[in-house]
Chains A and B, each alone.
Chain A
Amino acid sequence: MTSDVLVHARGLRKSYGSPRRPVRVLDGLDLALHRGEVLAVLGPNGAGKTTTVRILATLLRPDAGTATVAGHDVVRDAARVRGLISLTGQYAAVDEKQTGRENLAMMGRLAHLPRRVVRARVDDLLDAFDLAGAADRRVGEYSGGMRRRLDLAAGLLTRPQVMFLDEPTTGLDPRSRQTMWEVVRAVVADGTSLFLTTQYLEEADQLADRVALVVDGRVVAEGSPSDLKRRVGDARVELTFATSEEAARVGSTWPGTDAHATVPGPGPDVATSSTLRVPTDGSVGHVRDVLAAVAATGAEPERWEVREPTLDDVFLTLTGHATRARAPRDTGSTAPGAGAPADHEETAA
């Protein structure tokens, strides 16, 4: 099991700022990336994802804790670690005054690849990322998405054991994102393990074998995407009414109606001011009972749907927990109108 662990972080701590007023960013973070695996690290802004990636990629020293890549310590054996990884950071790492092709060729040279190999590889990458037409234009003239694609290509010149991608598809259009996913899958199929951070939960769902949710510098949840979805609860029936008053009436009369007795499980809670959510196991019988219970209140929903939990729900639920534990008043978004907060936490309970 342990020999299978390619990247291992234990108890990482990191603070920024002056020693007298340190800002704690990582607070005992533990992570493991197994060989051949894709690990997606999710977390709200400022959670410490980039800091973690920078430590693992030898750019930053942790204040405490250890991290290894293939058994080599990222601080003491940094040179060895660098021979095993490739990093594409959150911010573009290309020269604006060089062309796309020149940037890639330079990185190939720095990777000590033979000239002939560099040339072929650069052409392949430019094609794959749809940059062949802009290859000989300066990067300063690229759009944000083109720049990002070039940046990603620069991280793929060689075939590392571990690839670190910090928010790889932020700023990419849907098609470019798909291409990126294809490329990543191909690289992973070829034996590279991937350490990925992302804000797109669909991306984690699509690519990751395992997801780690980081909040305030600590891993608060970890598991396969389906594990995590199960953790936030079952599927739900979502009922949207014409007005928030009607939704409120259904919500408040629900436990009092006769029909309630026929609906097993918890009653509805308010998702947005005009939407109610009722947890369900998704079976036809249960959904029918729920709809019957609604009909018994005399109200008619405008729309309804059965929603499976998504990683978004996982994210909002679990990060909500952590944020609340620290700052009880700061519950995030407030729904307009009736002022009912979107209370995802109770859904999970």
Chain B
Amino acid sequence: MTAPSLAAPSGTTPRLPAPTPRPGRHVLADAGAMVARSLRLVRREPDELVLGLVLPVMLMILFVYVFGGAMSVGTDYVTYATPGIVLLCAGYGASNTAIAVEQDMSGGIMDRFRSMPIVASTVLVGHLVASVVKNLVTTAVVLVVALLVGFRPVATPLEWVAAVGVVAAYVVAITSVAAFVGVLVRSPAAAGGFGFFMLFLPYVSSAFVPPVTMPAWLRGFAEHQPVTSVIETIRGLLVGLGSDARPVTDLGTTAVLALAWCAGLTVVFLGGAAWAFARRRR
């Protein structure tokens, strides 16, 4: 029986740190531990990893070979649609954070986190960072597949960096919404519903068809919803074209609008998630 040695292992038994008058004292260390945790959990989610690889390939085949022939958007369809597929995959991947957060909220581990002298809401930071990492990997996969089927970007290295930055900002924004949803809902199915929504949202934007082809009532939404400004920015950066397939002219304004959308969504929903987190009791 090794048990009795437990209480004082070679005289080094750690005492719990003194009560923390300011609970945020270790907030960076807490966040670091939570990020490490979430990254590990993401790596070990085989379904999601497979989906992260299969979804881009399937979408690419669908858009380029199935729809591509019938689409006339004024340029090669793979050129037009690839930025949309990037966002579709990244947005969907980010939305899955809602499921991970919901699992944490309803699982026993949250009780332990909340009973420890840590900033328990850093668990959301962990999911946020893991989501960015995961979806940038997905984005890389999409782009590789796109290059294989004929996508020919014209971006300079700086434009590439900018494009990746915009994708990351978009992922942060959607993950924030997902975290909020995950804290609020009470079942995995409800959390999954957000993924369905995010799978659908890019279709009602300029991601796959120019909004001018839509009926007026839908077009108003499609032209002004956040995905559109993000997609136009990425398309402008990577292939230099606008939604009308003509060389892009007002990229600066669009980019500012896109980043403003992302920042706004992030602030509102991450704040909302933290607020709801503090109030939610199992």
Taking CB atoms, residues of chain A closer than 8 Å to B282 are: 59
Distance of B35 from chain A, by nearest CB (Å) = 11
Q: Decide if B281 touches A120 in the complex (CB within 8 Å).
A: no
* Structural contact, B5 and A128, CB atoms closer than 8 A: yes
CA distance A94 to B41 in the complex (A): 12
Is residue A189 within 8 Å, beta carbon to beta carbon, of the partner chain?
Answer: yes
Cβ A97 vs Cβ B30 within 8 A: no
Contact B117 A83 (CB under 8 A): yes
Chain B residues proximal to chain A, CB less than 8 Å: 1-10, 12-21, 23, 26, 29-30, 32-33, 36-37, 40-41, 44-45, 107-118, 281-282
Interface size on A, residues (CB 8 A): 58
Question: Are B109 and A128 touching (Cβ within 8 A)?
Answer: no
Residue of B nearest to A180 (CB): B3
- With a cutoff of 8 Å between Cβ atoms, the chain B residues found around residue A110 in the complex are 30, 33, 113, 116, 118
Bound complex: CA A114 to CA B33 (Å)? 13
Q: Which 7 A-B pairs have the closest CB atoms?
A: A83-B19, A182-B3, A93-B112, A190-B7, A93-B108, A87-B115, A158-B16
Which B residues are in CB contact (< 8 Å) with A156? 6
A106 contacts partner chain B, Cβ-Cβ < 8 Å = yes
Interface residues of A in 102-123 (CB under 8 A from B): 102, 106-107, 109-114, 117, 120-121
Residues of chain A having any CB pair with chain B under 8 Å: 54, 57-61, 72, 79-80, 82-89, 91-95, 97-98, 102, 106-107, 109-114, 117, 120-121, 124-125, 127-128, 138, 154-161, 164, 179, 182-183, 185-187, 189-190
23 chain-A/chain-B pairs, Cβ below 8 angstroms: A59-B114, A60-B281, A82-B116, A86-B16, A86-B115, A87-B112, A91-B108, A92-B108, A93-B108, A93-B111, A94-B109, A98-B44, A109-B33, A121-B13, A124-B5, A127-B2, A157-B14, A158-B16, A164-B115, A182-B4, A186-B6, A187-B7, A190-B8
B115–A97 touching, CB < 8 Å = no
- Whole-angstrom distance from the CB of A182 to the nearest CB of chain B? 4
Minimal beta-carbon separation of A15 from chain B (angstroms): 13
Contacts of A61 in B (CB 8 A): 281
Q: How far in angstroms is the closest Cβ of chain B from A120? A: 6
Contact of B14 among A89, A113, A179 (CB under 8 A): A113
Please name all residues of chain B whose beta carbon is closer than 8 Å to the beta carbon of A80 when the two chains form the complex.
Answer: 19-21
Beyond known contacts A84-B16, A154-B112, A186-B7: 9 more, CB 8 A cutoff: A87-B115, A89-B111, A91-B111, A97-B45, A111-B16, A113-B14, A120-B10, A125-B6, A187-B7
Contact of B29 among A79, A89, A98, A109 (CB under 8 A): A109
A186 with B4: CB separation less than 8 A: yes
- Give the CA-CA distance A160 to B16 in the complex, in Å: 6
CB distance from B121 to the nearest CB of A (A): 13
Q: Which residues on the B side are within 8 Å of A95 (C-beta)?
A: 37, 41, 109
* Inter-chain contact B115/A58, CB cutoff 8 Å: yes
CA distance A333 to B282 in the complex (A): 33
Neighbouring A residues of B281 by C-beta, 8 Å: 59-61
Asked if B6 contacts A124 (CB within 8 A), the reply is: yes
Determine if B29 and A112 form an interchain contact, defined as CB atoms under 8 angstroms apart: yes
A343 CB, nearest partner CB in chain B, Å: 40
Contacting A183 at CB < 8 Å: which of B3, B14, B15, B109?
B3
Bound Cα distance A204, B14 (Å): 28
Q: In the bound complex, do residue B114 and residue A58 qualify as a contact, i.e. CB atoms below 8 Å apart?
A: yes
In the bound complex, residues from chain A placing their C-beta under 8 Å from that of B118 are 82, 110
- CA–CA, A185 and B4, complex, Å: 8
Closest to A140 in B: B44
Contact status B7-A87, CB under 8 Å: no
Chain B residues with Cβ below 8 Å from A182 are 1, 3-4
Q: Are B115 and A106 in contact (CB under 8 A)?
A: no
Q: For the complex, give the distance between the alpha carbons of A14 and B134 in Å.
A: 42
A161 to B18, CA, bound (A): 11
In whole Å, how far is A208's beta carbon from the nearest beta carbon of chain B?
18
Chain B residues contacting A109 (CB-CB under 8 Å) are: 29, 32-33, 36
Taken together as a complex, chains A and B put the C-alpha atoms of A299 and B164 apart, in Å, by: 93
Expressed in whole angstroms, the minimum distance between the Cβ of B54 and any Cβ of chain A is 21
Taking the closest CB of chain B, its distance from the CB of A35, in whole angstroms, is 16
Q: Nearest chain-A residue to B113 (Cβ)?
A: A110
B99 shortest CB reach to chain A, Å: 13
> In this complex, which of B9, B13, B17, B116 has the most chain A Cβ atoms within 10 angstroms of its Cβ?
B116
Which one, A91, A102, A155, A190, contacts B13 given CB within 8 A? Answer: A190
Q: Is the CB of A159 within 8 A of B20?
A: no
The answer to whether B33 and A106 touch across the interface, beta carbons within 8 angstroms, is yes
Q: How far is the CA of A114 from the CA of B26 in the complex (A)?
A: 13
Across-interface contacts of B8 in A (CB, < 8 A): 190
Q: Once the chains bind, are B1 and A59 in contact (CB under 8 Å)? A: no
Chain A proximity of B249: nearest CB distance (Å): 48
In the complex, how many angstroms separate the beta carbon of B226 from the nearest chain A beta carbon?
32
